[in-house]
Amino acid sequence: MAEKQKPNVSDKQTLNLDEAYELAIEHFNNKRYIDADIICSAIINKDPERIDVINLLGLIAQKIDRHDLAIEQFQKAINYDPNIALLHYNLGTSFYQLGNREASINAAKKSIALDPDFPEAYSSLGNTLTELGKLNEAIKSLQKAIVLKPDYTDAFYNLGIALKKQDKLDEAVFNFQKATSIEPHFAAQFNLANTLKNMGRLDEAVINYKKAISINCDYIKAHSNFLLCSQYIPDQSMENLFLIHKKWGENFSSLSCFSHDRNLSINRRLKIGLLSPDFRLHPVGYFMTGFFKNYPVKELELICYSDSNPDILTKQLERYSDSWFFTKYLSDDQLSKLIINDRIDILIDLAGHTENNRLQLFTKKLAPIQISWAGYVGTTGLKTMDWLIADNHYILADEDKFYTENIIRMPDSWVCYTPPTYIPEVLPKTTNRFMLGNFGNPDKINNQMLEVWSKILLKCPNTNLCLLYRNMDSSSNIQRIKGYFKQSGIDTDRIIIEGGTPHEELLARYNTIDLALDTLPYSGGLTTMEALFMGVPVVTTYGKTFAGRHSASILRNIGLDKLVTNTLDEYIQLVVGLISTPQTVKNLSLELRNTVANSPLCDHKKFSSDLTKEFRKIWVKWCENSKYQAG
């Protein structure tokens, strides 16, 4: 957020104090905050009511992340003169940094009331309203900021964020590009890349991630998103993914890892810490539910560090856990201290390189044993991540070399599935035309898959295809996807594209789908589980990477190996064959929900028991190594 440094001051100043203040400003601008603070404190001793100096003390406190102290200074200045818009604006920025969004909004609104032509205040207000989901208000405020200051980079950036949250991807791209055209802006460049990825424009996304990294090489989110985006690139090799992840791990390794003094009793109750931004209505949330409900409480103590805005599933998971901390607004240092003080035995990351991860904390080795599980699709690249949980379908026996972690192979599936309580009943299909479907992320629908699906539709003229997901119906995605089918000679009326819809409605939409089509190189995970539970068979190809093996693992765990092909040509042949024998598909559909419900995929008690055994094994191994090193 932009900062103005000189509010109006009284006429009480002396020349010497003014000169001292100018010197303090010079120190501040050159990031010599201690020197600036010393001078300001000396001035205040002589003139306690100098508002400009008190304001500068607040700005100094902001720069050293002492926002509690900054708030004291700004409020003190406001007590002397409550009619200075800048003071309220600066107060709002510190409230924002401390996570007090309502106070931040109130301060910004007060600032605007005092100065209706204050663009920074409008931008600050819009940014905070966006975080609270008040997107229409946010957009109006940000547009006002741009009217007042047409070259305001941050306002264009913040407007892009708000529009992206409204799934207006084309408009978001315009505003991010506008921000980056005014000046190098790594956050705008980064979010431009994210948005392009959501539109299936992967090559452009990779270019813009690299630009963001070139602007700020320490911006860890850009590195992580580049690695995640790389998982979506067709013909990606496991070897290349390993190398780029390993390079990231080497570049961001911490120089300070903690030693761990623990009770080495191998049979004691273990403290399991789980860190995630996705303890919510999210694949990770659904994957955790069965384990949380069934873990053996005498053997494990579950301590959760949640960066999620709470929803109904968050509250459910919180009830099942032993301890729950809402950590979204904690800094990495604050969260590190919390985890260390909790003396966690096994710390589990549930995000990897996905959005809002805290993976850098794991470079510090905050617990004796660190595990990557359920949130990412391969190696993290960290040597300090000791283990990765998978199964035999994800990582073959000779593939450990492509992981910096040791591999835990679960005997069945690497996760278990818990359907939501509101899941609809499976109903008979009523349409005459055969309907194919994919309800996955448009990021996964690349030209390779469009070519495969085009070949299927050309061979099966009485068949339609339905694509449904958030952002799927953006103008860019519609143009990209329907344009490809049109060029392939397919009537685009056969392609139904729908955008985001409430989850219960999305699940019910499966009652119109006969057969689901999986994607490569990034396969469906929760999407495949939901399709199967809604009685829709899924056809997949066993991919070359971890990301391409989700559906294969799921299908093999429920006994439907015959729906897993080895090549995309076999995939086409299988789908065409199933379309030509619709009764076969109906027969598959009839018992699918029962098949899934009675499979290892939904055997929560067995899964929890198996996972606890794995935790115990690696704990015993760590204890034995610790005793050996001590001896």
The type of residue at 239 is E
DSSP 82-130: TT-HHHHHHHHHHHHHTT-HHHHHHHHHHHHHH-TT-HHHHHHHHHHHH
**Regarding beta strands 406-410 and 434-438, do their DSSP bridges make them parallel or antiparallel, or are they unpaired?**
unpaired
Residue with tokens 């042949």, as numbered in its chain: 573
For residue 12, pLDDT over 70 is answered with no
For residue 88, pLDDT over 80 is answered with yes
- With the CA atoms of 94, 100, 103 and 104 taken in that order, what torsion angle do they form, in degrees rounded to the nearest 10? 50
Q: Helices (DSSP H) in 183-326: which residue ranges? A: 186-198, 202-215, 220-230, 238-251, 283-294, 312-320
CA–CA distance from 606 to each of 282, 404, 414, 485, 595 (Å)?
A: 23, 28, 12, 45, 17
As a whole number of angstroms, the distance between CA 116 and CA 108 comes to: 11
Whether the CB-CB separation of 309 and 355 falls below 8 Å is answered with: no
Residue range 111-170, pLDDT digits in tens? 999 999 999 999 999 999 999 999 999 999 999 999 999 999 999 999 999 999 988 999
Residue range 56-74, pLDDT digits in tens? 999 999 999 999 999 999 9
The pLDDT assigned to 631 comes to 55
Cβ atoms within 10 Å, residue 184: 14
Helix (H) or strand (E) holding 258: none
Nearest to 563 by CA among 598, 526, 588: 588
Tokens found for residue 284: 């990770």
For residue 7, pLDDT over 50 is answered with no
Residue range 429-487, pLDDT digits in tens? 877 899 999 999 999 999 999 999 999 999 999 999 999 998 898 888 999 999 999 99
The pLDDT assigned to 8 comes to 38
As a whole number of angstroms, the distance between CA 617 and CA 612 comes to: 9
Domains annotated for the chain, with CATH where assigned, are 270-410 (3.40.50.11380), 434-602 (3.40.50.2000)
Cβ atoms within 10 Å, residue 187: 22
Residue 425 DSSP SS3:
coil
CA–CA distance from 148 to each of 116, 120, 129, 602 (Å)?
A: 10, 9, 19, 57
Kindly report the average pLDDT of the chain as a whole number: 94
- With the CA atoms of 89, 92, 94 and 98 taken in that order, what torsion angle do they form, in degrees rounded to the nearest 10? -170
Is the C-alpha dihedral spanning 130, 132, 137, 141 positive or negative?
Answer: negative
Residue 361 DSSP SS3:
helix
As a whole number of angstroms, the distance between CA 115 and CA 238 comes to: 57
The type of residue at 497 is I
Residues in contact with 377: Cβ distance below 8 Å, sequence separation at least 6, in sequence order: 231, 352, 522, 545, 546, 547, 550
Tokens found for residue 230: 């790389």
The pLDDT assigned to 628 comes to 67
Please compute the mean of the pLDDT values over residues 542-568 and round it to a whole number.
98
